[in-house]
Each structure stands twice: as structure tokens, then as C-alpha cells.
Amino acid sequence: MALTDKTILITGGTGSFGQACLKVLLEHYDVRAIRIFSRDELKQSELQARYAGEPRLRFFIGDIRDRERLVRATHGVDLILHAAAMKQVPVAEYNPFEAVQTNVIGAENVVAAAIENGVPHTLALSTDKAVNPVNLYGATKLCAEKIVTQGNAYAADSPVRFASVRYGNVVGSRGSVIPLFVRQAETGELTITDERMTRFWITLPQAVEFVLSRVPMMEGGEVYVPKIPSMRILDVADAIAPDATRRITGIRPGEKLHEVLLTEDEARHALELDDSYVIFPEFPSWRVEPFTGGAAVPEGFRYSSDANDRWLNADELRSMLPTVAVTTP
């Protein structure tokens, strides 16, 4: 689906991804309208002020827990980009019912609203935490992926289709380790949970570009995984504050040493493209067009942050952080 003259709704539209995606859509795509759906009235008012006079922009106060409000907001929409979520691991652990209401029931509501209004395409954002989850946040995002995929079964006799994008940590996003290290650098000491830790990294512009590039490709039920570099936590520390001392605090509950974006079991029904992997649904009861291009993923393949063939060093990470104040050696 081309985005020209289309109406797009972004859930969680005032979040980091939503704001970055909004900017790209307004500057580079000839869309008919963009609807920002979120529950944060302050951020919405700030966005309205920033884009004052932009005739293509609409704002909807609402919560994805509220199905009726979603149904109203998605009326006449061509594409839903579902980015709303509770994503802070400790917060989800302490407030499990709330995380389920937002990440699981919210995903169900998005799917239901899309089906009721005949929205042709819905693309949901997922995370590496959803793969073999060890914390509640990851478990809820795994559930959300399954709900989005199986939404195609409920819409099998219509043009409505659903897919997901699964990627790793966003460089410099709120709640990530980089802003934490930047703050700690002022004290001269960084706290590191485990020196062996590795993570996948993607910049916000890269995430937006990847998500929008998958819209024309989606047939229904796929999970798209970008090929992105890994980084060792010690290299992150070197990039932010090379002269700071380091205190090892021990791995936190619900935390992994390494992240996985594609498992051995998923590899059996996945294809490799130049820039990504595509995981196909195992039991699609809906019509799926044959996927052209790509190569079968090798038997037993596992895409994990510690076994990656692309690595970032401290200098490369610093070059990705033009807006974050870091200490150079």
C-alpha cells in the first residue's frame, strides 16, 4: 500500500516513535491526514503548537484500553501504526494488571477497531523482549504479537490485514541505558549490571524508516525483523564516559545477558532479505499471497545480540548520538 493520499492513525502518537514518525510522514509523504492518538494531553498540546497551521494533523485524546474510542478514532483510516505500550520493565513487573490492560487488551482493541472499520493495514511495533520472554513486559508483547497475527483470521474474508515489526533497543530512547549513563557520567561513576551484556541497537530514524518500508510489503501475519548491529555494554560505557569508574551491580530481575530477535524455531518459517528477516505465520487460515524474493533461513539459525556479525564500537555509537551530550576521550 502506497501512503499517498492515505489517512494514518498512530497510537501512542506522542511517544518517541510517534513523534519521529509524524515528522517523517509530514516531510516526505503526501498523506491526506495523520491522526495522533494518545492519552497525554500535555504532549498533544505541545505537538499542536509545534505544527500549528498543519492542515493534515488531527489529535485524539484516548486510551487503547477504550475500544469505543478506538473505533471512533479509526473510522475512515487506511493505516494504523500501533506504537502505544507500557514498556518500562520494572514498572510492568510492579504493575502487572496495568501492563496486561495496555499491552494485551489494548492490542486486542486495536485489532477489533480495525476490523469493525475495515482498516486495510495495521502494523504493530514489537520488541526483542517478546522473544523467549523472562519479564512481564516481554510476555505481554509476545501476547500482542500473537493477537495481531491472528487478527488476520478474524478478518480473513475482508481486505483487512495485520503484521508486526520486531526490533531492538532504540539508541537514546527514554528509559534506556544511554540517558542513564549520560546522567551518571556527571557523578564520575557508571553502574553496570553485568560486563558480559550485549544488546541490539537501532536509531529512531532507522526504526521509523524500517516500519514505513514494511507497509507496502505486508500480506498479513508476518513479523518483520531488521538486521541491526549489536553492542557490548562496556563499549556503551566507553562511548558515554570513558574516564568514569564502573560499579557492577548484578543482573536485575527480568533482565537477560543477551537479546534474541529470531529463534531457531521461528527460523523454520522465515526468509532472509537484504535488510531484514521475515517470520511468517505457521498456520494461516487466511489467504496469504506468495512472498517473492528472499532466501530460506538456515536450519537452526538464531539471531541473537551476542552472535551477531555486525558490531558497533564506541566511536560509531558516539556518531549516532548528535543530540546527546557525551564525554569524548
The three cell numbers of residue 50 are 509545534
The three cell numbers of residue 92 are 510492568
Query: E strands along 211-319, which residues?
Result: 223-226, 230-232, 245-248, 260-262, 270-272, 276-279, 295-296, 303-304
**φ, ψ of residue 72 in degrees (nearest 5):** -65, -45
By CB atoms closer than 10 A (0-12, 13-18, 19+), residue 270 is buried
Q: Is residue 108 classed as helix, strand or coil in its secondary structure?
A: helix
Q: Which residues are the active-site residues?
A: 129
Comparing CA positions, the residue from 111, 99, 110, 112 lying closest to residue 138 is 99
State CA 233 to chain mean position distance: 21
Strand order in the sheet with 169-170: 169-170, 198-202, 230-232
Residue 282 near residue 152 (C-beta atoms within 8 A): no
Query: E strands along 62-197, which residues?
Result: 79-82, 121-127, 161-167, 169-170, 189-192
Q: Give the strand pairing for 270-272 and 295-296.
A: antiparallel
